Amino acid sequence: MQNIISLPLISLIVVNWNGKPFLKQCFSSLQELNYPKDKLELIMVDNGSKDGSVQFMQKNFPEVKIIKNRENNYCKANNLGIKAARGKYVALLNNDAWVHKDWLVELVKVIRKDSKIAAIGSKTLFENGRINSTGLIQKKYFYFMDRDFKFNDKKSSRIKEVIGISNVASLYRKEALQEVGLFDEDFIMYFEDVDLSFSLRKKGWKIVYNPQSIAWHNFRGTSNSIFFPIYYCERNRLLFLIKHFPELFVKQIFNSSFYKLNQDCLIRELPFVLNKMIRMNGKKEFIRILPFLEKQISNNLTNKNSVELIKRIKQIEIKSKKTMPEDVLKLEVEKRKIESNEKKLLMLFRGERSGSPLYLFFKSLRENGFFYTLKHSLYFIKENYIVKNFL
């Protein structure tokens, strides 16, 4: 082991919610760590457990500092622990996980070698020895999964930079966490590891994986329903897109299982996600995507669901406009005027008889000028005739 005198103080946080059956194995493994006891601060944040978890810990592990959180919000619980932590580094461990005696020292050894490493993940294994996670990988449509999930253990010793790590067993540089504002509490649980990893990498930090740091995981031990992981992963994927890829957000909505399998969930959660967009990026971005979003909703959802969802989005729009600067309002009025004229031109070239085609054509010439009318006329001919009839 490294020189004991030089080892840093580590604050180790375990978030718990009704996980009493797992706590003995978890904290007993931490007591056996090959790490000096006076350099280890153990913290359990309890999310309002009703199974006697707090009393069990007070009786069996009195050295553990207990912080009580009033709600079952994993991200908020971690933030409470991080804010209370005295260590320069913060370790996170699931309450349904347990660790090898060298788990922590192997993480510390690597993170101290490079000041640009913000986070380092362990190799987590299932009880049967197969791999749970060796970091994260990105799949199609901005879905993510654990690297090497359910593969046989490769026994590799190679330390590797990855796009993200699982928080089942990990170590963070507290300075890096503070720079990105800790965990985003809107995520509540699931997908928060992806979001945090991306936030850190955008700031220039590195995320690495160390296979010599080993933990075991009773997979979904404290999440005995498959509904919550799926629900929050789908919901939080939309939050992730709003934060990191807002330009792709609208298109990616319709690759979501909320859209494909349960549109009621989409109706419930999309307004919340859009409100986050306004909080993060301001109303201007929301206004910019609104016409395209409404069009996509109308084209992709059933009539009943599209009407309901657009109604809820309109309520956000009305609230936004109440506090919108006058110059932004003027831009919005002008944009809507142009969109209205584009719609009339589209009706003209589709042969729809909601008004006289000749009248609409000359109205566009008068209001928008010759070049605008010609440009958009050619555009609509191309998009709505050639594409539909020949491609």
Average pLDDT over the chain, rounded to an integer: 83
Residue 330 lies in a domain: no
Q: Are residues 179 and 264 in the same domain?
A: no
d(CA 165, CA 148): 12
Residue 141 lies in a domain: yes
Residue 84 lies in a domain: yes
Residue 147, amino acid: R
Q: Are residues 150 and 243 in the same domain?
A: no
Q: Are residues 79 and 35 in the same domain?
A: yes
Q: Are residues 199 and 240 in the same domain?
A: no
Single residue among 322, 351, 382 that ends a domain in this structure: 322
Asked if 143 contacts 190 with a C-beta cutoff of 8 angstroms, the reply is: no
What is the pLDDT at residue 265? Answer: 86
Number of domains comprising the chain: 3
Q: Are residues 311 and 357 in the same domain?
A: no
What is the pLDDT at residue 319? Answer: 56
What is the pLDDT at residue 2? Answer: 54
d(CA 134, CA 217): 13
Residue 262, amino acid: N
Collapsing DSSP to helix, strand or coil, 245 comes out as coil
5-52 tens-digit pLDDT? 589 999 999 999 999 999 999 999 999 999 999 999 999 999 999 999
Residue 279 lies in a domain: yes
> Is the predicted pLDDT of residue 189 greater than 80, yes or no?
yes
Residue written as tokens 């320069």?
88
Q: Are residues 299 and 353 in the same domain?
A: no
Residue 91 lies in a domain: yes
Q: Are residues 193 and 151 in the same domain?
A: yes
> What backbone torsions phi and psi does residue 147 show, to the nearest 5 degrees?
-65, 140
Residue 327 lies in a domain: no
**Integer distance in angstroms from the first to the last C-alpha of the chain?**
67
Domain of 70, CATH number, reads 3.90.550.10
Residue 333 lies in a domain: no
193-225 tens-digit pLDDT? 999 999 999 999 999 999 999 999 997 656 666
Q: Are residues 272 and 247 in the same domain?
A: yes
For residue 374, the enclosing domain spans: 341-390
Mean pLDDT throughout 60-70? Answer: 97
222-245 tens-digit pLDDT? 666 677 788 899 999 999 999 999
Indicate the pLDDT class of residue 87, thresholds 50, 70 and 90.
very high
Q: Which helix (H) or strand (E) holds 211?
A: strand 206-217
Q: Are residues 202 and 237 in the same domain?
A: no
What is the pLDDT at residue 106? Answer: 97
Residue 332 lies in a domain: no
The model carries a pTM of 0.77
Q: Are residues 198 and 291 in the same domain?
A: no
Q: Are residues 211 and 306 in the same domain?
A: no
Q: Are residues 60 and 198 in the same domain?
A: yes
